Structures are given as C-alpha cells and as structure tokens.
Structure 1
C-alpha cells in the first residue's frame, strides 16, 4: 500500500484549510506553535513531504538541510522572504505561494482609505469621541465626478478601477504595459504619468517597488500635481517620497493623504505622522478574514495537487514540467527567460504582441513552460516578483496578444528560440540557442547574426558601422576600471546598422554610460542584467 504524503502545518491556518489536506487523503500534522520553535522544527521536519506556512516559520538553509523528505513548501500569502528560495531550489524543493488571494481585500482597503481622507473620517471620529461637536471643521469632498488617477492597472489596480466606476468617478490610468485595447475594456483613459499628475483629484498606487518605481512620486513629480489632490498608497512603501509629500501637505499643495505602507516598516515614525488629514494604517491591505481564509484554502489545494498528482501551481522556483522533462528542458527554460529579459529591459512603451518561434527539436518540448519562462523574463522588468505562473496572467491582464510559432529545423542550428515583441512604435526580436555544453547563447538581435555568451551584467549598444566603435568601447571601459569578459559585434551590412554586446564583470556605473552616449557614436547605450545562477 502506498504511504500517504505527510504535511506539517507549522503556522496558523484555518481548520477548513487543514481539513482539505485530510479530505484529499494526506496525513497532516497541525502544530502552529512549531513555526516559532527553530530547534523543534529542525528535529521533526525530516519526517514530512510538505510544509505549509505563513510568515512566522523561517525556512532557512539549515531547515532545508534537515528536510530530507521535503518536496514542497506552500506559503499562504504572497511574500516569501521567510524562505531561502535558492537553498530550496538546490535541494529540489518546490516553493509555492498564493499571489492572487488578497487582491480584492487590498483593492477595497484602497477605496476605504480614499473615502476616509475625502471625508476626514478618522479626525472627525477622534474629535467626536472627545466630546466636541466640530461639524463645520470637517468639510469633505465627494468622490462622485472626481478624476481618479490609477498608477498601475494590473490585478489590484483593475479591481480599484471597477469599484471607482461604481462610485461614478472619472478614471485615468498610467501603466507602461497597458495597451489601448485593455484600457478600453477597463473603461479608462490611458495617459502618461505627468498627465495623470496634472489632472487627477485622487491618485492611488498599485505597482510593485522596483528601481523604476522607487520614489515615483518624487519632489519633482509632486510639483506637477493638481492643487488639492489627495494621495492614496496601499501598494508598497517607497513609491512616494514621504518627506516631500509631508512638505506639500503642510504647504497646502496636497489636500490629504492615506497610507497603509511606508518606506520603513514597522513604521514607528514617519514624516506623514501627526499631519492634518493624513490617514495611516499599519499595513492592513490583506488583513481581512476572507483574504486570510482564501490564501489558506488555496495553498492547501495547491500542495495537495502536487503531492498527489504532480501538478504544479504558483511555483516560484520551478517550471511546470515533469522531472524527466526538466533534465532536458532546464537550459532551454533559462534561454527563454534570458530572451524575455533582454526585450523586457529594452522596451519602455506598452507591448501589444509577443510571438515566440520555436525551431527544430525544441518544438517537441513543453512549449507552455517555455512560453511562461519567456513571458516571466519580459515582465520582470516591470515587476521583479513575477514568476512563470503569474507572468501569463499578467500578460493577459494587460491585453498582450501572445502567439506561438513552431517550425522544422532551418538554418545552421539544430534548434533555436526567437522572441519578437511588437509595440505601437517598433518591433524588436532576439534569438538564441543552447550549445552542446548546455549554455544558452544569443545568436541574433534585430536580424543581425551574433554569437554572444550571456553574463549577469551586460552592455548593449547600437550604432552605425563606422571605424572607432571597438576602441571607444574598450578605452572607455578600461579607463573607468570596468573589465570586459566577452565582446560580441554584429552588423547588418558594411556601413549600415551595427550592434555590440559586452559581458562585463560588474555593473557599469551611470557616468560611464553617459560618457559613451556623449561621444555621439551610439544611437543606444543600455545596461542589462540576467539571472545566470
């Protein structure tokens, strides 16, 4: 008789979620205290095939080393900072989360915060509790007819937009990945960020924190705001320059703000604290009974599916393929991700369509998994938290048309993948293959043949095919202490368009890139990063 899989629930999950394991025929141990007892967890973890957690359990490399039978870790929620994912990957343990379980709750909190700041509800409540009757002091504004600026029209942002329509608000949205078709479907006007700043009566943020979005509402951006605007941030701390916003609030440029997240958390102090008409909550976006129940039920179902059938859902560190496929597909999955990362980092405008062409024996592999890897590479430029499961959902939400083409072997390579991205302004393509040593390589960019090794840090340039390019690149890098590990050139034809791809040992400082750009020899100079681990 086949032994039942064993799962340890080491954090507080609902009894309903625990019962799902039992109903599916899994031997489950519910011990929510063990997550905070590191020594005891180390003692028992070797007995279990699965570990279901929230945030209290810390899954370190030591825990994973002791987990001799562990196959899957399920996090009820989106954040996995408490799991050593690289160590889990090395150990062959799948790490799952539930990325979409709290979307409605977070969106509703943003709407609630908008109402609170519009009507000064917290201050009015405190005043009334104190025995005052300051009816004339708390003059609010209606939401009806006001213009709401939504920064980020993804999963949560889309729900906020839907709710705002119900409140009879006019909605405009800024999202670099939002297509006109998707905007029409959402019923929003797609605008540039500066336009949104100047037109919106309320602004709400629903984007991840990345290098591009850090302090997106900077002092400079605040200077472009419509007078009397109210700012809502229930997304990520660090999207707004809190000091600059506090100054604008004191000066009356901004009429109010509502924040659930802060640059430093737990937030025991902030420039926004104790200012009039500023509503603050302690990161409550996902804190509802329903959201906590949803993610618990989802993680129980996902873990059960994997342990009983091998199905993989919302995995952060593994493509959805069988163990046999993974041995062959691993390098090709890496290649697909690198191709996506290349075009994702070079494309700033909304992507309308993505075509992924498979040539040769790669067409016999799990195309869905390869597509997901390529899409994750593209989307990571906008959201570093994206994975192979959430990337297709994100692409669909943004109205991107995804197509796949397969063809028999043509050309010099036994197999290759070519990824083409289309925007309103341009079409960009890149192709790659996997050599016999198992290492992915770029073999064509913009129709120009190359042979480029892929490194963690790279520099990409475009230019006319004229003398002096190699010398300028080499001298500029050398003079500034940047070592070039590999240097690849290509051109369409003599005297026409040419490209260069440099594999360097460390990130190239911005002043060095500025020096290259200032020579006037290059049409484009761009740094690129790739996950080659």
Structure 2
C-alpha cells in the first residue's frame, strides 16, 4: 500500500473524485489538516515518510532535501517554481503536473479582472459601501491595445476570449516565435469582425503582433501576465519596467507572485504612475501587505484555478498521475 500525503489546499472541497481515485487503487491518503496553505517546515514534517506528495504551490525544497522515502511529487496545477527540479532529478524523485486542466479557469479570471479594472467595477462597489455615488468612467477592451506577456496555454486562451471584445490590437511577448499561432488568431479575428458586421465600416480586424517586452509595456492599455516564475522572471516587472506603462494602463497578474515586485508596484500605484492593477498571486500567501491600503488595486486569493470543474479536473488528474506512476500506467511526466 502506497502512502500519499496531500499538502495542497483546498482538496476535494466540492468533489470526492480525486480521493476516490486514490483509495480505490489501494492508496493510504492523509490530507492537509490545517485548512490553509502549509509552510515549508510543515510540509517537511508532515510528508517526510510518505511515498508520494500531491502538492499545490508549497515550497518543497526542504522536504526534498531531507526525505529518503519520497518517490513522486504530483502537482495540482502547472507551475513548477516551488519544486526543486534539479534536486528531484538528483534524488530520483519523479515530478508530475496537470498542465491543461487549469487553463480555462485562469484565463477567464484574467479576462474578468481586465474588465473589472478597466471599467472600475470593484472601485464602484467600494464607493457604494462608503455611501458615495460618482459613477466612475472607465475604458472598454473594444478599441484598446491589450498586451499578453507569455503566450503558452493560458495566454492563448486569453487571446481567444479577447477576440470577441474586438480590441484594436493584441500585443504578444514570448521567448518563442509565435507567428504560427498568431496567424491562426488573425484569421479568427477577421471572421469575428465579419460576424459582427463591422469589417469595412471604419473598423479593421484586431491586429495581433509579437513584440519585445519594452514595446508591450509602453503601448498596452492593459497587460496580463502568463509566464512562469523562474530566476529570469523573478522581479521581471520592477520599478524600471513599471515606469514604462502608460498613465491609463492596468496590470493583471494571475501567474505567480514574485514576477511583479510588490514594493515597486505599491509605490507606482500610490503615486498614480499608472491607473490600476489586479493581483491574484503574491510573494507570501495569504497576502497581508501594503497593497491592501490602495483603492486602485483589486486583490484576489490565488483563485485563478478555483472553478468547481477545473479544480476537480486538476485534483483528479494529479491523483491519476500518482496511480499511473505506481502501477506503470499513464501519467504526465515532467522530469
């Protein structure tokens, strides 16, 4: 019988499917008893003698460094910044993830935060609760320039959602050449413009262009981040980069805390250097930092993946990776 520790939180909140997958295949399962994200020391102590770990975004270096029993880490999600991959490879610990299940929920949240920040929805809600009623004006996605930093699974989904809003242009920044994908999106943009009956009526189809980071930051009305956290993207958007944003720009981060320097973001927003931001991810979670003081920032609880269906799919796939690994079946191998 294989012993499985589940450190991620929440787990099986709305569906028992993942637990059923594990237990029906003879696994002995212990689930995070704390009801919150576990600290590295807590994961290390709790999972020390288990065969496999089903993990969220907990920092796992201390556990991997000290364990002599762990054979598999199965991530509920796609990001691997909290997993010491080289050390896992050195110690013979396999790593799995669920790269596709998370994309629909994260991309929809990113889009909703763009709309929220541009139209000042949350700000208006706060005004009403204070007894105020200014009917604030905002901007539309239609006719705007939207920047997508990172054009992988989630970035592409965001682009597909944006096309229906008829933005003026979408700027893509990615390390890889994305021309093939951009061509397909451009063809779709023409069809969408035709379906809306606007093509040729003083309206051109949405242009989609791959650009460098500086061009994206300087020209976008809204920027949404979809890159992994690595040594190269840590503090990627610091004071110098944030200073390039247009005064009316908004910044959305549903990727990982640490990509945007939170201290620099706080001062930029407080000083009105650009319009607003929406942050779903933070250096330390739960977040209790100074961004809470500002009216022009929307804060959410690392909930990009937290739709009922996507969370169930992620957890089930993470469980299936465990079963597949130990039974010699199929699983999503990373290292």
TM-score normalized by structure 1?
0.49
List aligned pairs for 1:383-402, cutoff 5 A: none
Partner of 2:305: 286
Partner of 2:127: 127
Instruction: Kindly state the Cα deviation for residue 20 of structure 1 after the two structures are TM-superposed.
Output: 2.6
CA distance in 2, matches of 1:53, 1:108: 25
1:427-469 deviation digits (Å, cap 9, x = unpaired): xxxxxxxxxxxxxxxxxxxxxxxxxxxxxxxxxxxxxxxxxxx
List aligned pairs for 1:167-182, cutoff 5 A: 167-169=165-167, 170-182=169-181
Partner of 1:306: 325
Matched, 1:102 2:102: yes
Instruction: Kindly state the Cα deviation for residue 165 of structure 1 after the two structures are TM-superposed.
Output: 0.8
Secondary structure of the corresponding residue to residue 254 of structure 1: coil
Partner of 2:209: 189
**Structure with more of its chain in strand, by fraction:** 1
Q: 1:252 to 1:307 in 2, by over 3 A?
A: closer
Residues paired across the two proteins, number: 299
CA distance in 2, matches of 1:92, 1:196: 41
Partner of 1:201: 221
Judge conservation of contact 1:98–1:314 (CA < 8 Å) in 2.
no
Q: 1:79 to 1:7 in 2, by over 3 A?
A: farther
Matched, 1:255 2:284: no
Q: 1:162 to 1:146 in 2, by over 3 A?
A: same
CA distance in 1, matches of 2:162, 2:300: 21
Judge conservation of contact 2:65–2:87 (CA < 8 Å) in 1.
no
Instruction: Please say which structure displays the higher CA radius of gyration.
Output: 1
Superposed CA RMSD: 3.3
Q: 1:133 to 1:178 in 2, by over 3 A?
A: same
CA distance in 1, matches of 2:99, 2:123: 34
1:382-424 deviation digits (Å, cap 9, x = unpaired): xxxxxxxxxxxxxxxxxxxxxxxxxxxxxxxxxxxxxxxxxxx
Q: 1:261 to 1:92 in 2, by over 3 A?
A: closer
Partner of 2:163: 165
Secondary structure of the corresponding residue to residue 31 of structure 2: coil
Judge conservation of contact 2:323–2:329 (CA < 8 Å) in 1.
no
Task: Indicate which of 279, 283, 292 corresponds to 1:273.
Answer: 292
Structure 2 residues not aligned, in runs of 5+:
35-41, 187-207
Partner of 1:115: 115
CA distance in 1, matches of 2:330, 2:258: 37
Instruction: Kindly state the Cα deviation for residue 52 of structure 1 after the two structures are TM-superposed.
Output: 4.7
TM-score normalized by structure 2?
0.74
Structure ranking higher on relative contact order (CA contacts 8 Å, 6+ apart) = 2
Matched, 1:150 2:141: no
Judge conservation of contact 2:278–2:299 (CA < 8 Å) in 1.
yes
Q: 1:114 to 1:27 in 2, by over 3 A?
A: same
Instruction: Kindly state the Cα deviation for residue 34 of structure 1 after the two structures are TM-superposed.
Output: 7.1
